[in-house]
């Protein structure tokens, strides 16, 4: 039954469907008489987030039974073939016009010979890429061994530095990383030294030898080249040097990660405070992460000291990044959105570029933010293949 099919894909639908497709589905279901004007307005106006809109839409249609569910599946196939294919739906054949709306029958699907074929499933896409020498290798075993480090500083000794909304960032990033197949090693409210200790602890994780990649996400206040610890004060420079990430995860500090992608995401300001309804991540501080020019040569080792890294910083030097107290940081919101929708088929550089494009278009009065890809030493394309082990179809 189509309603049971919707129930099976409910979580993935909520995670992946775009706002544009939600609106298109609502219009189609309204035309069919599956939904009325009040139900459509309720879904759009009473839910602030994309996920909440998607959740109420699928739940409302599912409760209306198999015929309504069949119509929604058919419309999804027509409006978003990519999502339809990823969800593995099969009950989306065009239905007969609903009695309540005989004047607006469901448009027939385009002839198969003319329609663009649904994209390959995650597994088929992975199979097409796994032997490509230009791609970082991902096997089912290495996928199962993925690990990510998540550090979030929320509450500081100086209460005025508390990062309202950062709880949402932590929650959203943990869910995202888990959905990408990573076991999340999580720390909250650390001093600068404790951040350093946590990164070193992470480099000794037993899964790293088998893992194909790692994510390291650090969210806090920032200063020039540093992340601030929770005990930071003007008379107590509690700081973690950002360069230590590359030192600890580099070839010498973590041999288990040699030749493997290391994805770094830093949510912290790199400039001064600005007043706004949105909360600046770092008042009166800057986080100017400069690429080192003075690498020391290591004549003993025959591996690059620093390779296979890519970093996304929340803003360019001398500027601020913004956080909404009720939703979290702008950067993290768009990372979750882009990675949820695209990470099964786009490589990491493309994903970061799409995040940058969305943040660049963000506007709130005169508040602008521009993330930057930094210190990239990837020599191949890294595909995350989200949902690989969940996809047998």
Share of the chain above pLDDT 90, in %: 41
Average pLDDT score, the chain: 79
Distance, in Å, from the CA atom of 352 to the CA atom of 335, rounded to the nearest integer, reads: 8
With a CB cutoff of 8 Å and minimum separation 6, the contacts of 315 are 269, 270, 271, 321, 369, 370, 371, 372
Share of the chain above pLDDT 70, in %: 76
Q: Which residues pair with 206 in a beta bridge?
A: none
The answer on pLDDT for 348 being more than 90 is yes
* Highest mean pLDDT, choosing among 75-89, 255-269, 291-305: 255-269
pLDDT band (50, 70, 90) for residue 141: very high
- The more confident residue out of 2 and 23 is 23
Tokens (6 digits) for 322: 């913004």
Distance, in Å, from the CA atom of 270 to the CA atom of 286, rounded to the nearest integer, reads: 4
pLDDT band (50, 70, 90) for residue 197: very high
96 and 158 share a domain? Answer: no
- The more confident residue out of 100 and 171 is 171
196 and 338 share a domain? Answer: yes
The answer on pLDDT for 289 being more than 70 is no
- Residue after which a domain boundary falls, among 65, 96, 118: 118
* Highest mean pLDDT, choosing among 76-85, 122-131, 191-200, 345-354: 191-200
Domain that holds residue 113: 2-118
Give the pLDDT of residue 283.
39
Give the pLDDT of residue 324.
65
Give the pLDDT of residue 381.
95
Give the pLDDT of residue 116.
32
Distance, in Å, from the CA atom of 331 to the CA atom of 313, rounded to the nearest integer, reads: 9
The answer on pLDDT for 378 being more than 80 is yes
264 and 177 share a domain? Answer: yes
Region 73-101 average pLDDT: 67
35 and 173 share a domain? Answer: no
44 and 81 share a domain? Answer: yes
Distance, in Å, from the CA atom of 297 to the CA atom of 313, rounded to the nearest integer, reads: 27
105 and 170 share a domain? Answer: no
Tokens (6 digits) for 189: 């409210």
- Residue after which a domain boundary falls, among 64, 96, 118: 118
pLDDT band (50, 70, 90) for residue 273: very low
Distance, in Å, from the CA atom of 224 to the CA atom of 222, rounded to the nearest integer, reads: 7
Region 365-373 average pLDDT: 64
CA distances from 122 to 10, 59, 128, 385 (A): 18, 26, 10, 7
Region 40-49 average pLDDT: 87
The answer on pLDDT for 296 being more than 50 is no
Q: Which residues pair with 225 in a beta bridge?
A: none
pLDDT band (50, 70, 90) for residue 257: very high
Give the pLDDT of residue 118.
38
- Residue after which a domain boundary falls, among 56, 84, 118: 118
* Highest mean pLDDT, choosing among 112-126, 141-155, 219-233: 141-155
Number of structural domains in the chain: 2
Distance, in Å, from the CA atom of 51 to the CA atom of 49, rounded to the nearest integer, reads: 5
Q: What CATH code is carried by the domain that includes residue 20?
A: 1.10.533.10
139 and 170 share a domain? Answer: yes
**Catalytically annotated residues:** 221, 269
The answer on pLDDT for 49 being more than 60 is yes
Q: Phi/psi of residue 228, each to 5°?
A: -85, 135
**Residue-wise pLDDT tens digits, 159-179:** 888 888 889 999 999 999 999
């Amino acid at each position: 039954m189509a309603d049971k099919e919707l129930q099976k894909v409910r979580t993935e639908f909520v995670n992946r469907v775009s706002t544009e497709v939600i609106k298109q589905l609502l219009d189609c279901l309204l035309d069919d008489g599956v939904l009325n004007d009040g139900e459509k307005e309720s879904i759009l106006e009473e839910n602030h987030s994309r996920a909440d809109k998607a959740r109420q839409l699928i739940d409302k249609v599912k409760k209306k039974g198999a015929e309504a569910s069949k119509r929604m599946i058919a419309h999804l196939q027509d409006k978003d073939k990519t999502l339809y294919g990823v969800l593995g739906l099969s009950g989306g054949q065009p239905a007969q016009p609903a009695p309540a709306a005989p004047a607006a029958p469901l448009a027939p699907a385009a002839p198969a010979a003319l329609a663009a074929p649904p994209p390959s499933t995650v597994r088929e896409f992975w199979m097409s890429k796994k032997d490509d020498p230009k791609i970082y290798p991902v096997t089912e075993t290495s996928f199962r061994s993925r690990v990510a480090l998540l550090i979030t500083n929320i509450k500081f000794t100086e209460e005025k530095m508390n990062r309202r909304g950062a709880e949402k960032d932590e929650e959203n990033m943990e869910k995202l990383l888990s959905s990408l197949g990573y076991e999340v090693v999580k720390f909250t409210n650390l001093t600068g030294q404790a951040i350093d200790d946590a990164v070193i602890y992470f480099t000794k994780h037993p899964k790293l030898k088998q893992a194909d990649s790692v994510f390291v996400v650090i969210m806090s206040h920032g200063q020039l080249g540093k992340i601030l610890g929770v005990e930071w004060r003007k008379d107590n420079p509690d700081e973690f040097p950002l360069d230590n990430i590359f030192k600890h995860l580099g070839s010498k500090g973590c041999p288990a990660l040699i030749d493997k992608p290391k994805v770094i995401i830093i949510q912290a300001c790199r400039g001064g405070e600005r007043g706004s309804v949105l909360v600046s991540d770092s008042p009166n501080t800057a986080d100017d992460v400069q690429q080192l020019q003075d690498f020391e040569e290591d004549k003993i080792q025959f591996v690059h000291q620093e390779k296979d890294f890519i970093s996304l910083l929340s803003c360019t030097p001398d500027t601020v990044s913004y956080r909404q107290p009720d939703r979290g940081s702008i950067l993290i919101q768009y990372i979750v959105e882009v990675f949820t929708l695209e990470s099964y088929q786009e490589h990491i550089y493309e994903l970061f570029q799409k995040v940058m494009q969305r943040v660049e278009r963000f506007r709130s009065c005169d508040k602008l933010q521009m993330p930057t890809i930094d210190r990239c030493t990837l020599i191949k394309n890294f595909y995350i293949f989200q949902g690989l082990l969940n996809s047998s179809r």
